Amino acid sequence: MLGNFRYHNATTLYFGEDSLQYLNDELQKYGQTVQLIYGGGSIKKNGVYDAVTAILKANGKTIVEDGGVMPNPTVDKLREGVAIARANQVDLLLAVGGGSCCDYAKAVSVSIYCDEDPWDKYFVRFEEPTCKVVPVGCVLTMAGTGSEMNGGSVITNHQEKLKIGHVFGDDVMPKFSILNPRFTMSLPKRQMVAGIYDIFNHICEQYFSGEDDNVSDDLAEALMRSVVRNSLVANEDPQNYEARSNIMWAATWALNTLISRGKAGDWRVHMLGQAAGAYTDATHGMTLAAVSLPYYRYILPYGVKKFARFATRVWDVCPDGKTEGELAEAGLAAMENWMKTLGLAMDLRSLGATEEMIEGIADATFNLDAGYKALTRDEVVQILKASL
Binding residues (CB under 8 A) for a second copy: these are 1-19, 22, 212-215, 218-219, 221-223, 225-226, 229-230, 241-242, 245-246, 249-250, 253, 258, 261-262
Q: Which is nearer to a second copy, 226 or 287 (CB)?
A: 226
Q: What does the CA dihedral 118, 279, 365, 199 come to, rounded to 10 degrees?
A: 80
* CA distance linking residue 285 with residue 227, whole number of Å: 14
Q: Which residues pair with 178 in a beta bridge?
A: 14, 139
Please, which residue, 263 or 270, has the CB nearer to a second copy?
Answer: 263
**Contact predicate 109/136, CB 8 Å:** yes
Residue 162's DSSP bridge partners are 157
Taking the least distance from each CB to a second copy, the nearer of 170 and 355 is 170
Tell me the H-state helices in 237-353.
241-254, 268-280, 284-299, 304-315, 324-342
Provide the minimum distance between the beta carbon of 297 and a second copy in the complex, in angstroms, as a whole number: 26
Q: What letter does residue 37 receive in the DSSP assignment?
A: E
232 or 334: CB nearest a second copy: 232
Rounded to a whole number of angstroms, the minimum distance from the CB of residue 118 to a second copy is: 28
Of 43 and 220, CB closest to a second copy: 220
Residue whose CB is less far from a second copy, 15 or 366: 15
Cα(354)–Cα(357) distance, integer angstroms: 5
Q: Is the dihedral of CA 215, 216, 217, 221 positive or negative?
A: positive
d(C-alpha 238, C-alpha 148), whole Å:
22
Question: Cβ 169 to a second copy, closest distance in Å?
Answer: 12
- Pick the closer one to a second copy by CB: 11 or 109: 11
Residue 213 Cβ, how far from a second copy at the closest point, in Å?
6
CA pair distance 56, 46, nearest whole angstrom: 18
C-alpha span between 278 and 275 (Å, rounded):
5
The DSSP secondary-structure symbol of 70 reads -
Q: Pick the closer one to a second copy by CB: 76 or 211.
A: 211
The least CB distance from residue 203 to a second copy, in Å, is 12
Burial track 367-378 (b if 16+ CB lie within 10 A, e otherwise): ebebbbbebeee
Q: Specify the DSSP element, H or E, that contains 152.
A: strand 152-157
